[in-house]
Structures are given as C-alpha cells and as structure tokens.
Amino acid sequence: MTYVIIGSSAAGLNAAAAIRKADADGEILLLTREHARHYSRPLLSYYLAGKIDEEGLLYGGGDYLNGIRATLLSGKDVARLDVYAREAVCTDGSVFPYDRLLIACGGVAEQPEIPGVDLAGVFHFRTLVDTRAISATIERARVCVTMGGGLVSLKAAEALRERGVEEVHLVVGSDRVMSQAMDAGGAALLTKRLSENGVHTHTGESVEAVFGEDAPGGQGRRVRGVSLRGGRQIECQMVLIGKGVRPDLSLARGAGIETEWGILVNERMQTSVCDIYAAGDVAQAHDALHGEARVNALWPLAAQQGSVAGSNMAGRDAIYPGWFAMNSLQVFGLPVVTMGLVTARQEDGLEVLTHVDERREVYRKLVLREGRLVGCAIVGDTDASCLVGLARSRVDVSSFKEELVLSGLTDYRNVVTLMT
C-alpha cells in the first residue's frame, strides 16, 4: 500500500504514526508546500520569543519520522487530485500515486483587502517561514500593531514583548479579546493583564489602511503606521495579521469532494470520495456538544482526527467520538482555559453560572444543559482537567454546581464526595 498525506502538521503526523502501527510495510509519504521540517505550530510563539530554537520546534524530536518510517517531501505544493488515476499532482509537475490519501492541508491565511498590506514589515503569523521573517525584522520594530484579538494574536503579542518590542497594539473588531471563545467577564481580566505588560487593546476597531515610507538604500517601501476606522493613526514599524484563516478547500472542490465550511467527513474521517480521508483544520467533523458537524481548528483535535483517519486508512476500524473545541494557554503567566459553548446565554435555554474574584484574578463561567456541563471559561486557575472530564463524561453536576463554579473542584475525588 502507498499512503499519501497532504500536510505535515498535527493531523498528518498523527495519521502517519497510526498507519505505521497498523501496517508495517506500506509506504507513507507526507507532502507539504512548506520548506520546513515536521514542526509543532503551537510552539511558534515560543520560537519567536527566543525561548526555543528550530530544533525545539520539531514534533516528537528530530527522529520522529525515521521512527515511523515515513518520508517527508517539503516544497511539494499539491495542485490537484486525479481521483480516477489515484494521483496527487504537484505544481512542479511531480506526481504521486496513492492507494489511500489524506487531506490534512489545514487552513489558508486570507489577505485583508486594505491599502498597504503589501508593504515590507506586514506579516502573517501562521507558519515557520512567517516566523523567521518576523524574527529577522523585529530589531528595528519599536512599535507593532497586531490585527485580531484571538489566541494567535495574544501569543504573538507576548512573544514580541519578550523580544523587546516596546509597544504592541491589538486592534480587535469585536468588543473583547478572544471573542469566539471568551465572554466579557473573562476577557476583562485578560485585557487587564495585557495592559500591565505593555499591550494596548483597541476593541471595536479595525485597520483601514497601512501607510508607509521609503526604506533606506532604495529597498522599496516599508511600514510607517496604520489608520484605524475611528480616525486614529498609530505609528509603527511592523504589522502582524493574526486573523482571517479559513479551511483550504481548493483540492477537495477540484476533486468533487463534498464540502461546506470544511471538508465533510463521517465518523471514520472518510470523505465522499472512496479512499480519500480528511482531518484537522480542513475537516468538518462531528462536534459532541453542538450535535452537528463543525470545523474545530485546534491542535489536539487535529491530532486525534489524524490518528482516527490513519487507523482507518490502514484497515482498522476507528471512530472519532466528536470532541469539542477547547483552548488552553497562558497570557503573560495568566492561565486561560475555554471549552465548548462558552459564549452561550441563558436565553438560549442553557444555565449559566459565573464567579469572579478580582483580587486573585480568578474568573469561572460554567454553562449547563439539563444539568450537564457543556461549556466553561476559566481564567486564573491552573487546572481545569476535572471540568473537561465532567463534560466528556456527561456527568449530571446539578447537585454540586455551586461548589463547582466557586472552586473548580480540580480533583475527581471531590466530585465523588459531593455526589455521594
């Protein structure tokens, strides 16, 4: 058997490992358009901050692919799939026949349609190539503007401050940071911690234009600042685009594979075309809490989907249980966990409980449906694993919900005591 995997991030790497567990002899090829090795994308902010080097980025260490006898071919940009000939055709003319194929190409960053985004000093922050370019420019950047208030932008802001950028400005279109995964109460604590560390947040704003100046030595034009919708201008030497990523559906649509927001897959991560699978940020898979197929662009879910896909590609019968969206990070040392239906409201037919301790910088929000935990936002606590476990196990927490929102109950033994 020849297995071709398009993409070498979480889904692709875990699929390759699962294939090898089930098939000792098949050929495993990973094709990636990036000119890079098998790195871990969540670690890019640590690399930008100077906390790890490129070797430290490598997923599973430098010998990971050798250990599973898989071959990574970098710089291979797949242009189209020939589903009848069973071939992946690359832009350089190379062709890779397959018996089973996995689409794990993730998302693609969209370029905002505003004047000046092509100036030197404007970067996306998504790939290792992006991060290398940012790092090479950072020494001349006293002020940086980051477009977007999501997880990527927050971690980028922290890394920039670690590297000595004096001011970082987050320009956020919504009314709060992390609006897709955090409510107003939790976002307020995050914004306070950002401000204390030299990161200025501009909510309800957008960058309308990037303006520039001539670079020394006739090297073209570079960033000098941005103009905001409200009329204000911020002078800066660097702009990061931390939003506007969508699933890359070009291959799937060209091959006649069914898509909606992402590539539609069943519980075995199979697409509508025989012997083609999809996993990771490009896949629209079952979400247990929403009860429908959704794209959950998160590293742990991509890894799990990849493992399920790889197992099935190699002839085993594995089922993706449909885990839900969850984020876990630290922002300047402040722990943040969000899970499930965080932004739901009581008028949606759900019960919402909140607890705030501003002195300790602790915030907890629990969302219940029929007594079962279906979402939470936790700021300032170091461990939310118990809450995640309760949600996954669908435990009825009605009898101890007040204790749960007040303390978090970080130990299952406490839960058992309250239940009995």
Q: What's the CATH class of domain 2-108+245-313?
A: alpha beta
Sign of the torsion formed by the C-alpha atoms of 11, 17, 23 and 27: positive
Per the structure block, which two tokens stand in for 198?
Answer: 């030299």
What pLDDT score does 415 carry? 55
- The rounded Cα 142 to chain-centroid distance in angstroms is 28
- Please state, in angstroms and rounded to a whole number, the distance separating the CA atoms of residues 52 and 48: 8
Q: Phi/psi at 330 (nearest 5 deg)? A: -125, 135
Per the structure block, which two tokens stand in for 268?
Answer: 């075995």
Within 8 A by CB and 6+ apart from 118, the residues are: none
- The rounded Cα 17 to chain-centroid distance in angstroms is 21
Q: Which of 371, 308, 361 is nearest to 332 (CA)?
A: 361
- Complete DSSP assignment for 112-123: P--TTTTSBTEE
Provide the H-helix boundaries in 163-224. Answer: 184-196
- Residue pair 153/240 in contact (Cβ under 8 Å)? The answer is yes
Segments of 204-268 assigned E as strands: 207-214, 221-228, 233-235, 238-241, 245-247, 263-264
Q: How many CB atoms lie within 10 A of CB 307?
A: 24
Q: How many CB atoms lie within 10 A of CB 99?
A: 13
Domain parsing of the chain, residue ranges: 2-108+245-313, 122-241, 333-419
Sign of the torsion formed by the C-alpha atoms of 103, 109, 111 and 117: negative
* End-to-end CA, the chain: 54
As averages over each run of 10 residues, the pLDDT of the chain (420 residues) reads 96 98 97 92 94 92 93 96 97 97 93 93 94 93 94 94 96 91 85 95 96 85 94 96 91 97 97 97 88 86 96 97 82 89 76 86 89 89 76 87 77 54
Strand order in the sheet with 334-340: 326-331, 334-340, 372-379, 362-369, 351-357
Per the structure block, which two tokens stand in for 1?
Answer: 């058997």
**71 forms bridges with which residues in the sheet?**
29
Q: Which of 387, 366, 362 is nearest to 377 (CA)?
A: 366
Per the structure block, which two tokens stand in for 402?
Answer: 């007040």
- Residue pair 367/344 in contact (Cβ under 8 Å)? The answer is yes
Which CATH code, of 3.30.390, 2.160.20, 3.40.50, 3.30.70, is assigned to 333-419? 3.30.390
Segments of 33-99 assigned E as strands: 70-74, 78-82, 87-90, 95-97
Q: Can you tell me which residue has the tokens 């742990």?
A: 300
What pLDDT score does 361 carry? 86
- Please state, in angstroms and rounded to a whole number, the distance separating the CA atoms of residues 295 and 310: 19
- Residue pair 168/160 in contact (Cβ under 8 Å)? The answer is yes
CATH topology agreement for domains 2-108+245-313 and 333-419: no
CATH topology of domain 122-241: FAD/NAD(P)-binding domain (3.50.50)
Per the structure block, which two tokens stand in for 351?
Answer: 């019960």
